[in-house]
Amino acid sequence: MATAEFGSAVRRWRDKVSPEAAGLPTGGHRRAAGLRREELAQLAGISVDYVTRLEQGRASHPSAQVVEAMARALRLSPTERAHLFELAGLAPPGPESVPAYITPSVHRLLDRMAGTPVAVYDASWTLLQYNPPYAALMGDPSGWRGNERNGVWRHFLGLSSRVRHPPEGLEAFETAVVSDLRAAAARYPSDQRLRRLVSDLRAHSDRFAAQWDSGVIGRHEAAHKTIDHPGVGSLRLDCDVLTVAGSDLRIMIYTAEPATEDAERLALLTVLGTQSLVG
């Protein structure tokens, strides 16, 4: 059970993190230099009401996933993260769980790529963090909850996506992500969240179940992707996936070939962000 100090610690750390440090756009009058509750909620992928109840001590049983997401959003050091788990009455996830912690050095790397669409996923392809250009390109993920934040779930359950897969590339893509998920399940057999994800996918998607049961093997590699954006039209971009040694994170980066119409459209998106480009 979380102690009263849990909410106080979250408020203290929230006050210390500036929007710029958290990768958020700034602007307008702010009464405090730190993050607002709604900004912490957006970064952590939880509701503002839940952040409020946690800070006020009216919610006392946050899950390990929520605590991890808040530690990530607040950019806590390993020691601070461990302390937040202790205040929540939980043990920090061990090596048997899919890693979801983003180190300060990886945060700094992402900050230096502020003009490029970048997203960070864990080994199960659950979205952990993204920057404003990624939200502008792919659609704002701030309202996604639970399995909605998982890329494999979104693909096989037909949730909204701006990525268009040509017929010849669809099978290879699905083989790759199913293989990635199977490999993660083998590395982290005790991770209950991952086991539930696989079970739910098999129950809700016949196509996923067929791929999973067939034992197909593939590999997620760099690829060209076509993004159908409602404001600027189609963009053909290079998508590279980098892995972080020792943490099992995936950093997905979208770039365009210089001096092309795709590069111009991507630059426009980066400047305008998620505001409407229509009308």
Domains of the chain: 4-87 (1.10.260.40), 104-272 (3.30.450.180)
The helix or strand, by DSSP H or E, that contains position 204, with its residue range, turns out to be helix 192-204
Strand order in the sheet with 163-164: 127-130, 118-121, 249-255, 233-244, 223-229, 163-164
In this structure, the number of other CB atoms found within 10 A of the CB of residue 180 comes to 21
Q: What is the pLDDT of residue 277?
A: 38
CB 161 within 8 A of CB 191: no
pLDDT for res 275? 53
pLDDT at 1 over 70: no
How far apart CA 137 and CA 182 sit, in angstroms, is 29
Which carries the bigger pLDDT value, residue 247 or residue 278? Answer: 247
pLDDT in tens, 232-252: 999 999 999 998 888 899 999
| pLDDT score recorded for residue 250 | 92
pTM over 0.75, yes/no: yes
**DSSP states of 70-128:** HHHHTT--HHHHHHHHHHTT-PPP-TTS------HHHHHHHHTTTTS-EEEE-TT-BEE
Confirm if 69 and 90 have CB atoms less than 8 A apart: no
Structure tokens at 275: 């505001």
Q: What is the pLDDT of residue 278?
A: 35
Each residue of 21-76: pLDDT tens digit? 777 766 666 777 789 999 999 888 889 999 999 999 888 889 998 999 999 999 99
Q: Calculate the average pLDDT of the chain.
A: 88
